[in-house]
């Protein structure tokens, strides 16, 4: 009789443990879904802020620059305009201290 009571108690106890495990797994899934939603919302906010604060103003400035370059060829001073000549030249090489020389220094293995 005692063994039957103990078996029933063990069965009921294990059922409670099983139900707690299911609830715990459900809570974990719910927390993951909420975290993904929050991450998506933050990503959306970052993209919107990047577009408003960086992309659109930069696009506007580039548009103005294109218009100025197009108008420069019709300017009466276009033959001797220093700005036009500067824009047509290739960019100069960067100064030696700002170059990223891979083969020199501590990481490259060469040089010293």
**DSSP for the chain, written as a single string:** -HHHHHHHHHHHHHHHHHHHHHHHHHHHHHHHHHHHHHHHHHHHHHHHHHIIIIIHHHHHHHHHHHHHHHHHTTSTTGGG-HHHHHHHSPPPPPPGGGS--TTSSTTTS---
**Greater confidence, 101 or 42?**
42
Domain ranges of the chain: 14-87
Would the pTM of this model clear 0.85, i.e. be above it? no
Does 9 have pLDDT greater than 70? no
């Amino acid at each position: 009789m005692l063994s039957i009571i103990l078996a029933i108690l063990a069965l009921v106890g294990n059922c409670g443990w099983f139900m707690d495990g299911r609830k715990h797994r459900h809570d974990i899934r719910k927390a993951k879904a909420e975290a993904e939603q929050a991450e998506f919302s933050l990503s959306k906010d970052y993209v919107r802020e990047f577009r408003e604060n960086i992309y659109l103003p930069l696009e506007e400035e580039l548009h103005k620059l294109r218009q100025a370059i197009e108008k420069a060829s019709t300017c009466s001073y276009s033959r001797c305009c220093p700005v036009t000549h500067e824009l047509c030249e290739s960019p100069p090489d960067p100064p030696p201290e700002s170059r990223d020389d891979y083969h020199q220094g501590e990481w490259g293995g060469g040089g010293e």
